[in-house]
Amino acid sequence: MSDDYGAGSIQVLEGLEAVRKRPGMYLGDPHDGSALHHCIWEVVDNSVDEHLAGHNDVVEVTLHPDRSLSVRDYGRGIPVDTHQEFGISAAEVIMTKLHAGGKFDNSSYKVSGGLHGVGVSAVNAVSEWMDVEIHRGGAIYKQRFEAGVRATDLVKTGSCDDTGTLITFKPDTTIFTNILEFDFDQIDSRLKETSFLNAGLKIIINDERSDEHHTVEHHYEGGISEFVKQINARRETLHEEPILIQGEKEIEKGPVTVELALQWSDAFSENIYCYTNIIRNKDGGTHLSGLRTALTSSINGYAKKKNLLKNDGLSGDDVREGLTAIVSVKHPDPSFSSQTKDKLVSSEVSGIVQTVVYEKLNEFFEENPGVGKQIVDKAVLASKAREAARKARDLTRRKGVLEGGGLPGKLADCQSRDPSECEIYLVEGDSAGGSAKTGRDRRTQAILPLRGKILNVERQMHNVAKVFQNQEIQTMIRAFGAGVGNNADDEGSFNTEKLRYSKLIIMTDADVDGAHIRTLMLTFLWRFMRPAIEGGHVYIAQPPLYQLSKGKVNRYAFSDEERDTIIEELRGENEGAKIGVQRYKGLGEMNPEQLWETTMNPETRTMLKVTVREAEETNRMFETLMGEDVPERRAFIERHAKEVTNLDI
Ligand code: 0RA
């Protein structure tokens, strides 16, 4: 590191040190892959800004075998002239100063600095090294940084006849843990989204980590309308072309533009994606509430006018069932509820979206009365199904009360009443349930044995009452004690705060049936108790696959590799003895002590926590895996068959 740092540079170092000390505050969790991938989005955002400014049409992302990643664009190239205030190159300021983008009063760079995340300097701070190569003014410049600190000067290395920026970084393994590999699918789906939102921008992803290089290209001239079509590609839609809505309103700070694409399908889920300045707001906000208000009033108005309503009006949930929509707002100075920009709070946006959508939707219904009727009919059906479901659910609840207190007889409850320390094992089969009851810590662990396969709820979404009549499902609902249903506005809906256990642990056999039962349970939880999954309450127990014994020593292996390693170790200890290998097929083959020791003891067990990265992707996966479309499922299985490593029938 050179020693010519002035006062400004010391500030820089302190800024980057803060990012290294608390990466979570700037980039998300460094242990579960979210910060790791956030680094990519930060770098790519700069290239996208060059596109928005009208100077770049291609972004190329490459995953290298050494775990580094590069982002190349063909924009103007980062400026290289000396920065007035800091006395170093503008490029170095951008690479090392937190939020440097905003410091450039040069209005051309306002988009990124003002509206995007923490900037490329935060990524630099958490990188073992970062190389930047700039093509600008006919020359090539290069500079290297280590842990965010300059390792070389910015030097001119040659000439070129193009412009652009190439940034390569290697995430620092002293900061990131657990997940160190970039996830191609996650990068692909995120950058695909980016290219949909930036009609005309081509994004290329190269995965060069294995000998077989893999490249995909995203380039959509159709923008958000094409995005909606693609999301609904495998669904039966009520109208062929998405409804496209655009509007603009001038506020003091400048123009606010809104752009929406809407399409209804026969799906039961609602999928609305919200964006502000190309950034996803996963918790919605004022644009979403504006859209919702307009949808409810416009569709109810149309239904009344056409005499399509028999009873009460349609609820918001009714009119949004089966809707896929993109709301994209561009705002000169938006406010968010948090640093992560998950929710837009700029209050004026709600009225703008509401007015534009209401007007355009009414117009659309006038011009397309057939589609209007279909949408209303679908909402009326949804409303009836919801009413039937509510009745069935209340009946279940009353029945529980009649049977005394409501806890099901099959439940072996734990002693503690403090949900934060309580967990419930959902166990496949009565015999494994028996072992689990004997082996457990009865103070904090409850056992609920479930008989056979629970109902595939995905195929009953049109007849939800049937779901509530199912014995095993009733038993779970009563044991959890937190209600059922994903509609937060509805009393009796699932509420994590009432959950009697903080961990719901699915424990099934390590075979194909076990996997099926686990999928059925996850389908039920996702469709009817989604906050339990989103709140991180759902886990999957990991029973061992093998017991390895030598004399009095028993060891357990959870994978084939581990089995081989343990066999080697046991061999090494005593050359002579030939080693016993037992393959566990079912939980029932383990006695209570073994089950406790290997799978249930909180001190030693491993469990998988069920998390959801992308609700829409998850919706589609359950539709594919568990729904009615057999050819589609077959195609999915064929696509993924080669990923299956341990199929034991
Ligand atoms: C500051 C000012 C200008 C462009 C950039 C930064 C810039 C940053 C990155 C990061 C990755 N790719 C990038 N491309 C451009 C404007 C330069 C001008 O006015 O010529």
The CATH number of residue 56's host domain is 3.30.565.10
Between residues 133 and 649, the one the model is more confident about? 133
Instruction: Judge whether 649 lies within some domain.
Output: no
Categorize the per-residue pLDDT at 109 as very low, low, confident or very high, splitting at 50, 70 and 90.
very low
- Find the length of the chain: 649
DSSP string, 106-172: SGGGHHHHHHSSS-HHHHHHTEEEEEEEEEETTEEEEEEEETTEESS--EEEEE-S--EEEEEEEE-
* Ligand 1 proximity of 148 Cβ (cutoff 6 Å): no
Q: Are residues 163 and 113 in the same domain?
A: yes
State in Å: Cα 295 to ligand 1 middle. 41
What are the tens digits of pLDDT across the range 366-412? 999 999 999 999 999 999 888 888 888 887 777 766 665 568 889 99
Nearest CA residue ID for atom 19, ligand 1: 108
Residue 454's pLDDT is what?
87
CB distance 166 to ligand 1 below 6 Å? no
Q: Residue 404's pLDDT is what?
A: 59
Average pLDDT over residues 583-599: 90
Q: Is any atom of ligand 1 closer than 6 Å to the C-beta of 75?
A: yes
Percent of the chain with pLDDT over 90: 65
Q: What is the pLDDT of residues 53-107, one digit of tens each?
A: 999 999 999 999 999 999 999 999 999 999 888 889 999 999 998 865 443 433 3
The contacts of residue 82 (CB under 8 Å, 6+ apart) are 88, 89, 90
Q: Residue 108's pLDDT is what?
A: 34
Contact present, 193 and 218 (Cβ < 8 Å): no
Which residue's alpha carbon is at the smallest distance from atom 12 of ligand 1?
A: 47
**Are 213 and 199 found together in one domain?**
yes
92 CA from centroid of ligand 1 (Å): 12
Residues 532 and 496 in one domain: yes
557 SS3 class? strand
Q: Coil, helix or strand for 304? A: helix
pLDDT score of 458 more than 70? yes
- Cβ–ligand 1 distance for 58 under 6 Å, the answer no
The two structure tokens encoding residue 214:
């893999």
CB-based contact 52:111 (threshold 8 Å): yes
Looking at the annotation, which residues are catalytic?
428, 509, 511, 513
- In this structure, the answer to whether residues 236 and 358 fall within a common structural domain is yes
Q: Looking at the structure, tell me whether residues 164 and 302 fall in a common domain.
A: no
Specify whether 80 is located in the same domain as 207: yes
- Of the candidates 603, 600, 598, the residue with the CA atom closest to the CA atom of residue 423: 600
Nearest-atom number in ligand 1 for the CA of 43 is: 11
Q: At what angle do helices 184-197 and 34-52 cross, to 10 degrees?
A: 30
In a shared domain, residues 190 and 275: no
Residue 216 is inside which H or E element, if any?
strand 214-218
- Residue 357 is which amino acid? V
Q: Which residues contact 469 (CB under 8 A, 6 or more apart)?
A: 392, 396
The answer to which of 2-16, 195-209, 286-300 has the lowest mean pLDDT is: 2-16
CATH of the domain at 316: 3.30.230.10
Find the 620 Cα to ligand 1 centroid distance in Å.
38
Residues 352 and 491 in one domain: no
Pick from 41, 44, 47, 50 the residue to mutate for probing ligand 1's pocket: most ligand atoms within 8 Å of its CB.
50
* Atom 20 of ligand 1: nearest residue by CA position: 76
Residue 535 inside a domain? The answer is yes
Q: What is the pLDDT of residue 628?
A: 78
Q: Which residues contact 149 (CB under 8 A, 6 or more apart)?
A: 1, 13, 16, 96
Distance of CA 205 to CAs 36, 37, 449, Å? Answer: 17, 14, 47
pLDDT band of 452, cuts 50, 70, 90: confident
Of residues 552 and 274, more confidently modeled: 274
Residue 319 near residue 296, CB atoms below 8 Å = yes
* Predicted local confidence at residue 376, as pLDDT: 96
Please tell me the distance between residue 134's alpha carbon and the centre of ligand 1 in angstroms.
Answer: 10
Residues 45 and 171 in one domain: yes
Q: Is 572 inside any structural domain?
A: no
Domain termination site, one of 218, 241, 264 = 218
Nearest-angstrom CA–CA distance, 570 and 558: 16
The yes-or-no verdict on residue 469 having pLDDT over 60 is: yes
Query: pLDDT tens digit string along 153-181?
Result: 999 999 999 999 999 999 999 999 988 89
What is the tens place of the pLDDT at every residue in 223-281? 999 999 999 998 999 999 999 999 999 999 999 999 999 999 999 889 999 999 888 89
- Edge to edge, the sheet with strand 243-251 lists 243-251, 254-264, 323-330, 271-276, 279-280
What per-residue confidence (pLDDT) applies to 496? 95
Q: Does the beta carbon of 164 sit less than 6 angstroms from any atom of ligand 1?
A: no
DSSP percent split of the chain into helix, strand, coil, nearest 5: 45, 20, 35
Q: What is the pTM of this model?
A: 0.77
Residue linked to tokens 């892959």: 33
Regarding whether 208 and 135 lie in a shared domain, the answer is: yes
- Of 72, 644, 191, residue with least CA distance to 182: 191
Q: What pLDDT was estimated at residue 480?
A: 95
Q: In this model, does residue 422 exceed pLDDT 70?
A: yes
Pick from 371, 227, 348: nearest CA to 302: 371
- pLDDT of 339 > 80? The answer is no
Q: Are residues 472 and 616 in the same domain?
A: yes
CA of 50 relative to ligand 1 center, distance in Å: 7
pLDDT at 389: 83
Question: Rounded to the nearest whole angstrom, what is the distance from the C-alpha of residue 201 to the centroid of ligand 1?
Answer: 17
Please tell me if the CB atom of residue 76 comes closer than 6 angstroms to any atom of ligand 1: yes
Q: Which of 169, 191, 218 is the last residue of a domain?
A: 218
Nearest alpha carbon, ligand 1 atom 6: 78
Q: Give the DSSP letter string of 504-535.
A: EEEE--SSHHHHHHHHHHHHHHHHH-HHHHHT
* 478-535 pLDDT, tens digit each: 999 998 887 766 777 899 999 999 999 999 988 888 889 999 999 999 999 999 999 9
- DSSP assignment of 448-472, as one string? EEE-SPPP-GGGGTT-HHHHHH-HH
Residue 7: predicted pLDDT: 52
What pLDDT score was predicted for residue 110?
38
Task: Provide the pLDDT for residue 343.
Answer: 96
- Which residue segment(s) compose the domain that 123 sits in? 17-218
Res 649 pLDDT > 70: no
Are the C-beta atoms of residues 112 and 89 closer than 8 Å to each other? Answer: no
Same-domain check for residues 443 and 294:
no
With cut-offs at 50, 70 and 90, classify the pLDDT of residue 624: confident
From 190, 218, 246, the end of a domain falls on 218
pLDDT score of 19 more than 50: yes
pLDDT, position 283: 92
In a domain, 266, yes or no: yes
